[in-house]
Structure 1
Amino acid sequence: MCFRRGDAYKITLKLMCQLLWVLGLIVGLTGLNFLLKYREYSLFIAQPYITLPAFLAFSSGVFLFATGCLGSWMNIRNSYCHQGLFVYLLVVVFCLEGTASTFAYFHYIQLQCCGVRNYTDWMETSWFSQSGGLSVPHSCCNTTFLSCNATLDQPWLLYPEGCQVKLETALRLMLCFIIWGFLLVFLTEVCVLLVMSQLMKKQQFITYQALERDSSH
């Protein structure tokens, strides 16, 4: 009966580890996507420290992926070294995900974007003065109007909505995903640690015996 229960624990642990590396991949890609999005719109954001949750999420994803792979592909049931490394990586991920979730929740509430509420914000930039003060970048042109030449005398041909709202919505969505994603990771890690504790409790420890010298020699 104990043997069957041990096999059930091992199967459960492997399934949980498979889920861990999948979650690690998702969390890491989310953090990377956040960093790329910030790099694309960095001119519109006054707070560079908003990328801190993304860095922590990416780091957590890397550690989580490594932990899941270790638990899936190595025989952690019979190796003290692998068991110790596995638990250590789980503790590291716990710390990273807790910090990342805290920062993500803070920025989810406090996120404030800078500039580009509409096309008139370009009038306050040095680019606008150097261009003669008559036009805005062609990226402001609404693609449905082929005749748009980005001049201010035809404002109805420009996009009425600024980049701030779209950027804020995208960043809030990713921050929210990081928060709820780490909640799922946390619950999965708790289950993994419970299963690991049951396996280690049933593990037979190696006993050492003193060797006696042969008196004939």
Structure 2
Amino acid sequence: RSSAQALLRFLGIVFWAIAAAHALGGVLVILMFKNYRYLFQESYLSLPGWLAIAAALILLPTGILAVSISIKSSRNKQGTFMYLLLLLLCIEMSSAVLAHVYSNRAASQLESAMGYLIYQQNGSCSPDPGSRAVDVMQRKLQCCGVRNYTDWLKARAASWHLTACVPTSCCKEKYSHCRGHLKHLEHLYQEGCLKKLGDQLWFVMLYVFWCCTVLSILELLAGVSNVILMRHQPFQDFRFL
């Protein structure tokens, strides 16, 4: 009984810490799909982030109940605690599955969406980066093209009269006089945007997935501890919820 109380008190405090980490993961997922919404067609891809935030909010009263039960238990509090754990477990499992499925689905969309953006901009090199979605993306991620700068050359292959160059958003910030010409490749970002954004997407989704997995295990431990304490309660203390 004393071990179950100590474990429940510890888990209650851990729940508060995990609530902050979980909320952070949810915000990262939502911001990822909001900042690059022109690359992702389905708005529901950010659903794992919203579920993570919902779980973080429920974790706060759950942690308070866990600490309270470890100090002085009652059937009402223990029953409410079990209901919250069950609700959290459902949310966590749903969020983990969706994070895994949606990360693969979003990753499969990235290459075609980026390629479409680049082939749309098959005109002359832009002297004023930042006015187009593709320029914003390349500046923010410090990348050039889908896989590398040659994607811009392929996009302009049909326009034989255009000078071989890339947008100035492909230029590294320290080269202020760079105009996207290929004579100085060292002035350009060498890495493509697909890998950089794909890595960011994979990181935030994996973060949410493992937060959900770890939290589900801790919730099961909290449930077992609560059941042990309920078994030590006198039979007369049962109350209908």
Structure-1-length-normalised TM-score: 0.77
Query: 1:135 corresponds to which residue?
Result: 126
Code of the residue aligned with 2:230 in structure 1: it is M
Quickly say closer, same or farther: Cα 1:81–1:155, change in 2 above 3 A.
farther
Q: Percent identity of the aligned residues?
A: 23
Which has more radius of gyration? 1
SS across alignment from 2:175? coil
Aligned counterpart for 2:207 among listed residues 172, 177, 193: 177
Distance 2:40 2:87 in 1: 30
Q: 1:154 to 1:57 in 2, by over 3 A?
A: farther
Distance 1:152 1:62, change over 3 A: farther
Give, in angstroms, the shift of residue 85 of structure 1.
1.8
Structure 1: gaps (5+ residues): 1-5, 208-217
Q: Report if aligned partners of 2:15, 2:59 keep a CA contact under 8 Å in 1.
A: yes
2:218 to 177, 185, 188: 188
Matched, 1:168 2:198: yes
Q: CA deviation at 1:122?
A: 3.9
After superposition, what is the alpha-carbon deviation per residue over 1:178-205, rounded to whole angstroms, capped at 9, x for unaligned? 2222221111111111111110011024
Distance across 2 between alignment mates of 1:155 and 1:83: 69
| Rounded Cα–Cα distance in structure 1 between residues aligned with 2:41 and 2:190 | 22
Q: Give matches, 1:76-155, under 5 Å.
A: 77-110=72-105, 111-112=107-108, 113=110, 114-116=112-114, 121-122=117-118, 124-125=120-121, 133-135=124-126, 137=129, 139=139, 140=169, 141-149=171-179
Preserved contact between residue 12 and residue 195 of structure 1 (Cα < 8 Å) = yes
Shift, 1:159, TM fit: 2.8
Which amino acid is 1:80 matched to?
Answer: R
Q: Which amino acid aligns with 1:34?
A: V
In the superposition, the TM-score normalised over structure 2's length comes to 0.70
Gap change, CA 1:148 and 1:100, over 3 Å in 2: same
The gaps in structure 2 that reach 5 residues or longer are 131-138, 140-168
- 1:73 and 1:200, CA in 2 relative to 1: closer, same or farther beyond 3 A? closer
> Displacement, 1:99?
0.6
Contact 1:77–1:199 (CA<8 Å) still a contact in 2? no
Is 1:25–1:65's contact at 8 Å kept on the other side of the alignment?
no
Q: CA deviation at 1:163?
A: 3.0
Give the Cα separation in 2 of the matches to 1:155 and 1:165: 23
- Write the deviation string for residues 123-163 of structure 1: whole angstroms up to 9, x where unpaired: 514xx76xxx43162532311312124x5677844434343
**CA drift at 1:174:** 1.5
- In 2, distance between residues paired with 1:122 and 1:155? 21
Match of residue 56 from structure 1: 51
What secondary structure, in the 3-state scheme, does the structure 2 residue paired with 1:116 have?
helix
Q: Which moved more, 1:70-79 or 1:95-104?
A: 70-79
